[in-house]
A and B are shown apart, each in its own frame.
Chain A
Amino acid sequence: MTNDVIIIGAGPAGLSAAITCAKHGMNVVVIDEYYKPGGRLLGQLYEEPDGSWWNGIKESDKLYNQAINSGVQLKLSVPVINIERQGTEWNVFTNMETLQANNLLVATGAAESPAPVPGWTLPGVMSVGAAQVMTNVQRVKPGEKGIIIGVNVLSAAIAQELKLANISVESMTLPKINSMNHDYAIPKNVVNSLLHVSHLSPSPIIKIGSNLMKYKLINKLALKFYPNKGIKMWDIPIQLKKAVTQIYGTDKVEGVTIANVDDYGQIIPKSEKSIEVDFVCISGGLYPLAELAAIAGCPFYMIEELGGYVPLHNERMETPLSGLFVAGNITGIEGAKVAAAQGTVAGLSIVNNTLNSAFEFELEEAIKQVRIIREENPIQFHPHIQNGRKKMQKYWNEYFANNQESFII
């Protein structure tokens, strides 16, 4: 059977798009390989600037109920393995069946960048997002006492979540420097990015940021005055002058070796110490999960501010391939509210394209809404996200100037 719309990904972007399309009478199927709807929204739990709490499980439930009540068909635990264009239709291959639709939205979200530290394959070492989901979604402690390697917005938010669940976090610290991880391992770079983000957002990181600011006021080189024992956030020491050099254990994590580092991330000899922990979280940042858009044949651009390679798209969430749309973190790393707002835009774009531009006004308004939410969003993953968005628009304009023809059919 042919559907009007297939959506890959039941995160905030995919579900918001599905609700919008279904409310306008379209027949929508959403496919997700996870066993629950909500995507990465599920694990989120942070304090809003007004003091209320953003509870990802509740937000996911809301979206799920709206989707089901508007007639969206949801297929969970179903991985999409391939997509292919045939005539005017998109074929979507899952491990069970092949589905067809004229409109396809790829809303596959983001993934965590691997950030290997010696010993990282031992059981008990996990990405920081893994600990988030284990704690808040599965409600199992990832361990009794852990350490977080990588200091950034996401790891700071998750450190607090572990603390809330009464899990002991020894400290947050940096990884040992290697040729790939300068942004995460050199104290100067980390401090710069923290100061930058804290500037813009009242998110958890501001609490580190504003503490750092105090030092900044004393001396431009915040790092020089950064105390060796770290500064504390929710009682968790943030160590910007230490790095984990080795995770050790026989057949699971038993501890880490931690050393002092200079401002450039170089290990200070003979400063190594062992700390016993039973789990380790590694955080190397997020990148857009865009394989499926690549398979479909969408052109890609590397835009650092958006988190990596991003499929070419415009503010209407269209790609140059007719009937192919993208929304959410696949278009750049941002918080869940932006992803949801982009989903609504993608939904309206699909409706508008199908119904002879009858929803032009609503679409314009929804696009404005994305911009507003982006500015107000408490979680900013990249301080220059707006620049990234502008670059993408420029690439889009250039692409159509060079390729005279409109959409690729």
Chain B
Amino acid sequence: MSQRIKYHPLLEDYKDGKNITFIFNSEEYIGIEGDTIASALLVNGIRTLRYHEETGTPHGLYCNIGQCFECRVNVNHQQGVRACITPIEDGMVIKSQDVLPTPVKDWREKHDK
């Protein structure tokens, strides 16, 4: 599990902010004020932020600065929110974006077309 870097030889000590409670995929987690959604999840040992819309493979953060959109999640019913640039807030309800239904493709595969 990833850990908080509290002490650093050159940077100031990490200042513990207040605890923030949030929900990710129906489970409750605690982050610290100042965390992004991505860092709060990582410190809780969670790397998978979404599943590929078609293939269902797991994806996590890639650039961590808002450029690649790999980390997009659903926040309080809003789609496509970048977990790496969005600060965590008390009571946030976050969901991984799931595999989207692809009925035509599924039918083709099933019928070998």
Task: Tell me whether B65 and A55 are in contact (CB under 8 A).
Answer: no
Task: Tell me whether B62 and A126 are in contact (CB under 8 A).
Answer: yes
Considering only residues 110-125 of chain A, those with a C-beta below 8 Å from chain B are 111-112, 114, 121-125
Task: Tell me whether A130 and B63 are in contact (CB under 8 A).
Answer: yes
Task: Tell me whether B61 and A130 are in contact (CB under 8 A).
Answer: yes
A131-139, A148-156, A310-318, A334-342: which one contacts chain B? A131-139
CB proximity of A74 to chain B, nearest CB, Å: 16
Considering only residues 39-65 of chain A, those with a C-beta below 8 Å from chain B are 40, 45, 53, 55, 57
Task: Tell me whether A123 and B58 are in contact (CB under 8 A).
Answer: yes
CB proximity of A14 to chain B, nearest CB, Å: 15
A123: B residues at CB distance < 8 A: 47-49, 58-60
Task: Tell me whether A141 and B63 are in contact (CB under 8 A).
Answer: no
- Among A57, A135, A141, the most chain B Cβ lie within 10 Å of the Cβ of A141
Cα–Cα distance between A216 and B9 once the two chains are bound (Å)? 35
Task: Tell me whether B62 and A77 are in contact (CB under 8 A).
Answer: no
Interface residue range, chain A:
35 or more
* A-B residue pair count with CB separations less than 8 angstroms: 106
Choose one: B9, B11, B42, B48; the contact of A140 (CB below 8 Å).
B42
Residue-wise interface mask of B (21-49) relative to A, using a CB-CB cutoff of 8 A (1 in contact, 0 not): 00000000000001110110011000111
Task: Tell me whether B63 and A138 are in contact (CB under 8 A).
Answer: no
Task: Tell me whether A252 and B63 are in contact (CB under 8 A).
Answer: no
Task: Tell me whether B58 and A130 are in contact (CB under 8 A).
Answer: no
CB proximity of B8 to chain A, nearest CB, Å: 6
Choose one: B11, B59, B63, B64; the contact of A121 (CB below 8 Å).
B59
B6: A residues at CB distance < 8 A: 139
- Among B11, B35, B48, B68, the most chain A Cβ lie within 10 Å of the Cβ of B11
Choose one: A122, A127, A142, A166; the contact of B63 (CB below 8 Å).
A127
Question: Quick check: is B104 within 8 A (CB to CB) of the other chain?
Answer: no
A165: B residues at CB distance < 8 A: 5, 8
Question: Quick check: is B2 within 8 A (CB to CB) of the other chain?
Answer: yes
B62: A residues at CB distance < 8 A: 125-127, 130
Closest to B55 in A: A121
Interface residue range, chain B:
35 or more
- Among B4, B5, B10, the most chain A Cβ lie within 10 Å of the Cβ of B5
Closest to B13 in A: A139
Question: Quick check: is A300 within 8 A (CB to CB) of the other chain?
Answer: no
Task: Tell me whether A252 and B66 are in contact (CB under 8 A).
Answer: no
Cα–Cα distance between A271 and B35 once the two chains are bound (Å)? 42
Question: Quick check: is B57 within 8 A (CB to CB) of the other chain?
Answer: yes
- Among B3, B6, B60, B86, the most chain A Cβ lie within 10 Å of the Cβ of B60
Cα–Cα distance between A251 and B10 once the two chains are bound (Å)? 35
Considering only residues 52-96 of chain B, those with a C-beta below 8 Å from chain A are 52, 57-68, 84-87
Choose one: B58, B63, B67; the contact of A251 (CB below 8 Å).
B58
Cα–Cα distance between A129 and B63 once the two chains are bound (Å)? 7
A125: B residues at CB distance < 8 A: 60, 62
Can you give 29 A-B contacts (C-beta < 8 A)? A33-B66, A34-B66, A35-B87, A40-B65, A53-B10, A77-B85, A77-B87, A112-B67, A121-B57, A121-B59, A122-B58, A123-B47, A123-B58, A123-B60, A124-B60, A127-B68, A129-B64, A130-B84, A135-B5, A138-B38, A139-B8, A139-B14, A140-B4, A140-B35, A140-B42, A141-B3, A141-B4, A141-B5, A251-B58
Binding site for B on A (CB under 8 A): 33-35, 40, 45, 53, 55, 57, 77, 79, 111-112, 114, 121-127, 129-131, 133-136, 138-144, 164-166, 251-252, 289
19 new A-B contacts, CB < 8 A, other than A53-B10, A133-B65, A138-B36, are: A33-B85, A34-B85, A45-B10, A111-B67, A121-B52, A124-B60, A125-B60, A126-B64, A127-B63, A130-B62, A130-B63, A131-B64, A138-B38, A140-B35, A141-B2, A164-B8, A164-B10, A252-B47, A252-B48
Leading 9 A-B pairs by shortest Cβ distance: A123-B60, A130-B64, A123-B47, A138-B39, A139-B5, A139-B14, A140-B39, A251-B58, A141-B2
Binding site for A on B (CB under 8 A): 2-6, 8-12, 14, 34-36, 38-39, 42-43, 47-49, 52, 57-68, 84-87
